[in-house]
Structure 1
C-alpha cells in the first residue's frame, strides 16, 4: 500500500486529532498529515494551494460539529472550489453524531464518500487508504 498520501483531518477535538495521528503512525500512514480545527482554516489552505497538488490532500476526514465553519458549511464551500482543483480529493465525514438527519444529509452530498461514526479504528483507516 502506498504510504505517501496527504491526509487532512478537520476536527476541533484535540484528543481526536492526537488519536488519529497515533493510529496513522501505527499503520505507517503518517507521511503528510495536515490538522485543522475548523472548516474555514482548512478551506483557506485548499484555496491557497489550488495549483499545488503536492500540498493538496488525497483524503479528508471531516467532522460535523466545529466552531466558525462546521463540516456541512465546509462542504458547501468545497463544492464551489472543487472545479478549480486539479486533484481528486476523497472526503469522509467522521462524527460522533448518530443522528439519522446528519447521516442522511451527508449521504446526499455527492462529494462525501462515506459517513463514519467515531471513534475511527485502525482497520477502517487501512481499508480507506487501500481503496484510494
Structure 2
C-alpha cells in the first residue's frame, strides 16, 4: 500500500490500542506522519493552535474525560481550513447499535471501524 495521507491523528486513551493501531498504520504505509494523543482535550488544543492539520483522524468512542462524540461536538466549533474534508474514522470496540447509528448519522464520520484495526480493514479504508 502506498502512502494515502500526509498526517494521521490517532485519538485513544488506551496505550496498548494506540501501540497496535500505530504499528498497523506504519506497516501499512498509511500516512507520512502519525500523531497520537491519548487525551481528546490535548488533541483539540493541538488542533486549535494549528500544531496539527490532519488529513485523517482515528477516534475512539469511549474515553474517560471526553467521549468521541463529545470530541466531535468540539471539533465542529473549530476554525480549520480543511475541517469538512478530513476523514474521521470512529475506531471502537463498541458493539452498541446506538454508537454505530450515531456514527453513521454524524457528518464528519466517514466510517465506523471495529478495534483492533487490522491490515485488511486498513486496505479496505483506502479503496
TM-score, normalising length: structure 1: 0.85
Residue number among 111, 115, 118 corresponding to 2:112 in the alignment: 115
CA contact (8 A) 1:9 1:36 kept: yes
Any unmatched runs of 5+ in structure 1?
Answer: none
Q: Which residue of 2 aligns with 1:99?
A: 96
List aligned pairs for 1:1-132, cutoff 5 A.
Answer: 1-3=2-4, 5-29=6-30, 31-49=32-50, 55-81=52-78, 84-87=79-82, 88-128=85-125, 130-131=126-127
Deviations 1:79-120 (A, max 9, x none): 111xx2112311010100010011111111111111111111
Moved over 6 A (4+): none
Aligned residue pairs: how many?
A: 124
The structural deviation recorded for 1:31 is 2.5
How far did residue 3 of structure 1 move?
4.8
Q: Give the Cα separation in 2 of the matches to 1:70 and 1:62.
A: 9
State the Cα RMSD in Å: 1.7
Q: Secondary structure at the match of 1:86?
A: coil
CA distance in 1, matches of 2:24, 2:44: 25
Residue 126 of structure 1: how far off its partner (Å): 2.8
